[in-house]
A = this chain, B = another copy of it.
Amino acid sequence: MLEKELIIALPKGRILLELKSLFTKIGFIPETDFYNDESRKLIFSTNILNVKIIKVRSFDVATFVKFGAADIGICGLDVLEEFSSPEIYRLFDLEIGKCRLSIAAKKNSDINFRNKSHVRIASKYVNLTNNYFASLAIQDECIKLNGAMELAPHLNLCDFIVDLVSTGKTLEENNLIEVEKIMDVTSYFVANKNSLKTKSADLNKIIKLFGVKLFEN
């Protein structure tokens, strides 16, 4: 039992299965509906009194933690780098949700972007994309899409996409090829910086539960 209420922000979608086995292993048990992705419920109690979970989209995990509306969260490195907020403290790498952020293009198209003076890209990751191409001294125009990235090169919205790749099956199905990896991605356990100060005793208990004594003196 904790003294203060702690809110943990967790991402919806494909990572829930991996979280389930992690949580089961450490004995952290959310209320029943949590693993049901069809549930419209947004906030869930757990077997630890005063610890609640919110289940939101991965980008929103970062927003809730950044502003302290959630004290801790589990968040992909892709999202952390896209947000790049000093208010989000990276506690440790959970080594789950492994994938990579990559540049992809249509099969049989000119994939040699390093020779181009200007490239047009579609991505959810506008900051990451702009930073990466800037580091290569290539001028890019990044068009923000929220989904269906795989369509964009086929309709000439862009020459390249920047998106998460796991097995590569989705690219293959959509007649796309991976051109270059930008970064490896795993999920991190993160905390709001202010919560780390104001709720350190309670946060320490949760962090220990997750197997790492980061606050040992």
Interface residues on A, range: 20 to 34
A143 at the interface (CB under 8 A from B): yes
Q: CB-CB < 8 A to A150: which residues of B?
A: 42
A148 touching B7 by the CB < 8 A rule? no
Residue of B nearest to A157 (CB): B69
Chain B nearest Cβ from A51, distance in angstroms: 14
Q: CB-CB < 8 A to A174: which residues of B?
A: 42
Segment 137-163 of A: residues with Cβ below 8 Å from B: 143-148, 150-152, 154-157
A64 touching B147 by the CB < 8 A rule? no
Chain B nearest Cβ from A144, distance in angstroms: 7
A 152-192 binary contact with B (CB < 8 Å = 1; else 0): 10111100000000000000001000000000000000000
**Known A42-B148, A148-B60, A155-B7; contact A143-B54, beta-carbon cutoff 8 A:** no
B146 touching A64 by the CB < 8 A rule? no
A146 CA to B54 CA, complexed, in Å: 14
A72 at the interface (CB under 8 A from B): no
Q: Which of A7, A67, A144 has the most CB of B within 10 A?
A: A67
